Amino acid sequence: MTASRRQILRTAMATAGVAVAGQASAASTAPAARTDAPAPLRARRLQPGDTIGLVSPANATYEREPLAIAIESLQAIGFKVRLGRHAQARYGQFAGTDAQRAADINDFFADDEVAGILALAGGSGCNRIVDKLNYALIRRKPKFFGGFSDLTSLVNAIHHQTGLITFHSPVGGSEWNEFSLQHFKTMVMDGQADVLRNPTDKGDNVVQAEDRISTLRPGVARGPLVGGNLTVLASLAGSPFFPYCRGAVLFLEDTNEYIYRLDRCLSTLRLAGALDALAGVVLGKFTRCGPGDGAYGTLTLDEVFDDYFLPLNVPVYRGAMIGHIRRKFTVPVGQPAEIDAQAGTLRLLSPAVV
C-alpha cells in the first residue's frame, strides 16, 4: 500500500470514529469533565451522646459476641447505639435480603434521632444494594456514613450520587485502638483538618521496619479523595455509582488477593479511564496479597504498581495506614486533600464535617 493510500485510509477511519492502532491517545479514554456533580455536602460532626445507627449492609454476623463487642466499643467512645431492624438477619452469607439491608440504611437516614450510620462489618453484598438506596433522601438529610472493605461501594456511591462526604473508616466490629480512635475522633468528632501520617517509631530496631512509607514518584498535588478497596472499586466500573476520578487523589488497599487479580483490577480501572487524569495516588496496605501458586514466576506488587502508576507522572506513595489492618486512618471520600508523596502524607484542606 502506498503512503498516499495509507493516509487516505487513516483519514477515512478517523472520520468514522475508528481508532487506528498505535494512534489512540490516553485522552481518548479519559472521562469528560463532570457537569452533573451535586453540590458538596458535609455531615454534622458526631458528639458524645449522639445515637449511631449500626447496620449490616454486607456479611451476616453469625455469633453474638462480635455484635456485643461492637456495641460496647461504640458506647465506650460515648455514643448511644441503635441496631438496624435487620442487622441480625441472615440470607445465605448476607445479613438479610437485599431489600432488608438497604431498608436499614434508608430508615436510619430518615430517622432524625440518628446522628450517623456505621457498618457493623464488611464482607460482600454491598454491590447488590447500591442501587436500592434512597439518594434523594440522603441528600435531604445528610449525616455521617462510614465503613471500609466492601463498604467501598456505598461510601463512593453515596458521595457520587449526593455530594455527601462519606468516610472510609473503621467498622463497628473493628479494633478501636488508640491510633484508629484518635484519627476517627479528630476527623469526625472534633472536625479538624487532619493530617494522615504514618507512625515513625522504630521500636527496638535500628531502622523502622513496620508501617514504612515508600515513594514511587515524589511530588505534591491536590484533589478530592476517592477510592477504597481495589477489587470492590473495580467492580463498580461502568456503573452510575463509580466515583469521578478526574483530578482526584485515588487511595487503594486490599487483602487476600493474588497479585494477578490485583493486576486485573488495575487494568479495569485503566481501561475505564479512571487513571488517566488523577492528581495523585496513595497506596495503602495490601495485606496477604502474594503471588499464589505461581510463586515469583508472576509479577511482584512493586512491578505491578510501577507499571500502572509511574507512567501517570503524578505523586504516588505506598504504605499508608489504610486497609485491613489493626491501626487505620479514617479517610473522607470526596474531601479535598493535599498529597505529599515524598513525606508520605495526606493533609485535608478543610474539615470534613461541620
Q: Report pLDDT digits (tens) over 23-46.
A: 333 344 445 567 788 988 999 999
Do residues 223 and 256 touch, judged by C-beta distance below 8 A? no
- Does residue 262 share a domain with residue 229? yes
Q: What pLDDT, on a 0 to 100 scale, did the predictor assign at position 232?
A: 98
Q: What pLDDT, on a 0 to 100 scale, did the predictor assign at position 32?
A: 59
Q: Is residue 333 part of a domain?
A: yes
253 catalytic residue (yes or no): yes
The 3-state DSSP class for residue 99 equals helix
- Choosing from 113, 145, 176, the residue where a domain stops is 176
pLDDT less than 50: residues of the chain: 1-30
Cα–Cα distance for residue pair 340/83, rounded to 1 Å:
40
Residues contacting residue 265 through CB under 8 Å, at least 6 positions apart = 230, 231, 233, 234
- Does residue 342 share a domain with residue 203? yes
Q: What pLDDT, on a 0 to 100 scale, did the predictor assign at position 16?
A: 38
Cα–Cα distance for residue pair 73/64, rounded to 1 Å:
14
Amino acid identity of residue 278, one-letter, is: L
Burial letters 157-168, b for 16+ CB under 10 A, else e: bbbbbbbbbbbb
- Does residue 117 share a domain with residue 67? yes
Picking from 260, 254, 262, the residue whose alpha carbon sits closest to that of residue 288 is 254
Within 13 Å, how many C-alpha atoms sit on residue 261's CB side? 17
- Does residue 333 share a domain with residue 251? yes
User: Given 56, 73, 149, 180, which residue is catalytic?
Assistant: 149
- Does residue 233 share a domain with residue 150? no
Q: Is residue 259 part of a domain?
A: yes
State whether the Cα torsion 28-157-127-303 is positive or negative. positive
What would the pLDDT profile of 331-353 be if each residue is shown by its tens digit? 999 999 999 999 999 999 999 99
Do residues 52 and 82 touch, judged by C-beta distance below 8 A? yes
Q: Looking up cell 455514643, which residue turns up? A: 79
Q: Is residue 342 part of a domain?
A: yes
> Residue 301 maps to which CATH number?
3.50.30.60
User: Given 73, 174, 235, 253, which residue is catalytic?
Assistant: 253
Cα–Cα distance for residue pair 10/338, rounded to 1 Å:
43
Return the C-alpha cell found at 98. Answer: 437485599
- Does residue 152 share a domain with residue 250? no
The number of distinct structural domains making up the chain is 2
Q: Is residue 206 part of a domain?
A: yes
DSSP-derived pairing of the beta strands 280-287 and 249-255: parallel
User: Given 86, 159, 168, 324, which residue is catalytic?
Assistant: 324
80-83 β-sheet, strand order: 80-83, 51-55, 116-119, 144-147, 166-168, 331-333
User: Which DSSP string corresponds to 108-177?
Assistant: HHH-TT--EEEES--SS-GGGTTTSS-HHHHHHS--EEEE-GGGHHHHHHHHHHH-B-EEE---TTS---
Q: Is residue 40 part of a domain?
A: no
- Please give the DSSP secondary-structure letter assigned to residue 31: P
- Does residue 200 share a domain with residue 294? yes
Q: Is residue 31 part of a domain?
A: no
Hey, which residues does 51 pair with through a beta bridge?
Answer: 80
Q: What pLDDT, on a 0 to 100 scale, did the predictor assign at position 34?
A: 78
What backbone torsions phi and psi does residue 147 show, to the nearest 5 degrees? 160, 170
- Does residue 124 share a domain with residue 215? no
Cα–Cα distance for residue pair 198/329, rounded to 1 Å:
9
324 catalytic residue (yes or no): yes
> Residue 107 maps to which CATH number?
3.40.50.10740
- Does residue 290 share a domain with residue 232? yes
- Does residue 209 share a domain with residue 162? no
- For residue 272, how many other CB atoms are within 10 A of its CB? 17
Domain around 109: 51-176
- Does residue 336 share a domain with residue 203? yes
- Does residue 207 share a domain with residue 85? no
Q: What pLDDT, on a 0 to 100 scale, did the predictor assign at position 295?
A: 72
Within 13 Å, how many C-alpha atoms sit on residue 322's CB side? 34
Helix axes 301-309, 259-271, angle to 10 degrees: 10
Q: Is residue 36 part of a domain?
A: no
Within 13 Å, how many C-alpha atoms sit on residue 129's CB side? 28
Amino acid identity of residue 165, one-letter, is: I
Do residues 189 and 212 touch, judged by C-beta distance below 8 A? no
Query: For the chain, first and last CA: distance in Å?
Result: 67
Return the C-alpha cell found at 354. Answer: 461541620
Identify the helix (H) or strand (E) that includes residue 270.
helix 259-271
Q: Is residue 99 part of a domain?
A: yes
What backbone torsions phi and psi does residue 256 show, to the nearest 5 degrees? 55, 40
